[in-house]
Amino acid sequence: MCLRKLSYSLSFEVVVYMSLKVVVGSVYCMSHVLRVAARAMANVTSSYVAGTHSMAFVTVPDDQMARKLAK
């Protein structure tokens, strides 16, 4: 009976140790995955060039002046 208890506690310790390694490894890898994903999103969204699209609201007295400004 003493041998069974010893083998059970040893296997429980091994299971706990392996589970802890999996959890710590997952957290470590997730931090790297998130960092790479953040860099990828920054590269994709930073392709905007200032001045590519612009808009201005101008009030003019008549339609002819508006057409002249639009050219």
Please, how many CA atoms are within 13 Å of residue 31, restricted to the half-sphere of its CB? 5
What does the pLDDT read at residue 48? 63
What does the pLDDT read at residue 12? 78
What does the pLDDT read at residue 69? 85
One digit per residue, the tens of pLDDT, for the chain of length 71 reads: 455 555 555 677 888 888 899 998 888 888 888 888 888 887 777 666 676 667 778 889 998 988 888 88
Report the distance separating Cα 71 and Cα 68, nearest Å.
Answer: 6
> If you ran DSSP here, which 8-state letter would residue 52 be given?
S
